[in-house]
Structure 1
Amino acid sequence: AFGVVADIQFADAEDGYDFDGCRRRYYRHSLRLLREAVREWAGESPPIDFVLQLGDSIDGQNARRGEAESALQRVLEVLGQLSVPVHHAWGNHELYNFSRARLVHTGLYSRPAGGSDGPPDRECHAYHCSPAPRLRLVVLDTYDVSTLGRDPDSPHYQESLRVLREKNHNDDLNSPKGLKEPHFVAFNGGFSQAQLDWFDEVLKFSDENEEKVIV
């Protein structure tokens, strides 16, 4: 058994709305809900084996407010009360707040140090592990190809921008207006071929060893 949480989007800020202005967001209240989830998980019997945190742990506005580090610390302190591993995925809000170079030195970097459990690029937050016999957990980096969190002078950034501009001709690259493929916007991301090749090898291994896979 395992726990799952997504889109905590904590900020020490007044309530607001999402990007489209349609859904109300309760930034401070999200931490209270996370504490309740942690208490529930801690009381499970039999106990859970791990927790998946699926990204957007803090809201992007923390970067503008200069509170990214403190907001992340508060979220990690709550998750740190768990006695089981927490596997983190990165969303766009992590990358609004931190560069990849910084994220690899935070508690959101759950990829094991060393070994061959992930792609060669250590800033690619993808890895696999076996939390139970004949079970494999694979965490993928869905922003591997993205301008978010990348140095604008880096090859990764330049290639991501090229792909984005090829598909999105809007002045605002966050806008899907008029696009045949509306997912090609700056707040989305994609997989590099290197990550897909690595993922294919992981699946082959699991298939050969008759493992069930959680992605």
Structure 2
Amino acid sequence: MSIDRYGDGAMPRIAAAGAADDAVRLFNQEYWTIRDLDVSNAAPAGSTAGANLRQGIGSLPDDAALLNLTTDHGPPAARPDGAYTLDGPATTRTVTVTPETRSRFATAAGATVTVADTPTDVPVTVTAEDGTRRTNHRLIRRLAPSDGAATAPAEGVLSSTSGRATGLHDGDYTVSLTAATPSAQHASTVVSGRAPGTYTYEAELVNAAGATRSAAIIVEVR
């Protein structure tokens, strides 16, 4: 990036007259070229020698900026929209976020956040060496790993053993799921100690292509 005069003639003049610390300030910038400008920043009239120092062109880093985030599940992958995506199990989970600051003299506290499949805002406050504090915001979301599925799972079938062995619906039973996704799969959950009442169970099968919910079954405990 270059700042220069346009055409011939006298150089453009920037005279701050001591009204600001820098007549021209570059903040957190790199690879700029400034030339052919008449820049001045005289100290205010009556100022004490050595005090109220001013300069024509100043360049300051943003020491309170957040450079990056890492987590205890590995470094997040930055998305084009500025958010971070965590690869890993297709479950909501808690991660510890560790900030990396732009300046080695700055400090920032980590945070523990719950990451789901919707963006989670992670505010991180960075304190620069001069005490400047800035809260930086990053978005983190979970990304389920691809399993190569081209279509959503087939619907699973739920069943219950309540009353099957003894004819009693006493609150102790097993709920089972049978599904073909595409290979045959089976899962079961043991339920015990249910108080009299009506209980509804559903199952949802999920892969990279989508989710399919099963029909509900109702178990009545007497």
TM-score (norm 2): 0.21
Q: Higher helix share goes to which structure?
A: 1
- More strand by proportion, 1 or 2? 2
Q: TM-score, normalised by structure 1?
A: 0.22
Query: Which of the pair has the greater relative contact order for Cα pairs under 8 Å at 6+ separation?
Result: 1
Q: Which has the larger radius of gyration?
A: 2
